[in-house]
Copies of this chain bind each other. A is one copy, B any other.
Amino acid sequence: MMKARVIVTLKNGVLDPQGKAIEGALGGLGFDGIGAVRQGKVFDLVLSATDKAAAEAEVAQMCEKLLANTVIENYAIEIE
């Protein structure tokens, strides 16, 4: 059994209104010096695979097909 973490973030240049809203809210709470905020998603998966390379390839397929919109998002995979 392996654990995989997938982090999906917006590509550079893609507008992130949610991040902008958080940036504004942090400023409103009195936090200074916030340059930029971008929000993304994280997925924690438990896999029954035992081979690390095979697990990573499978998770990459999941990202391409479901977890990330590769037109506007990047994904990073960590296997534990």
Contact = CB atoms under 8 A, between A and B. Distances in A.
Given A34-B48, A39-B41, 4 more contacts: A19-B43, A33-B49, A37-B45, A42-B42
A44 B1 contact: no
A79 interface: no
- Copies of this chain, complex-wide, total 2
Point out which of A32, A44, A46 has the most chain B C-beta atoms below 10 A from its C-beta. Answer: A44
- Interface residue range, chain A: 20 to 34
A7 interface: yes
A76 B77 CA distance: 17
22 contacts: A1-B35, A7-B42, A22-B66, A25-B66, A29-B66, A31-B61, A31-B62, A34-B45, A34-B47, A35-B46, A36-B44, A36-B45, A37-B43, A37-B44, A38-B43, A39-B41, A39-B42, A39-B44, A40-B41, A40-B42, A40-B43, A41-B41
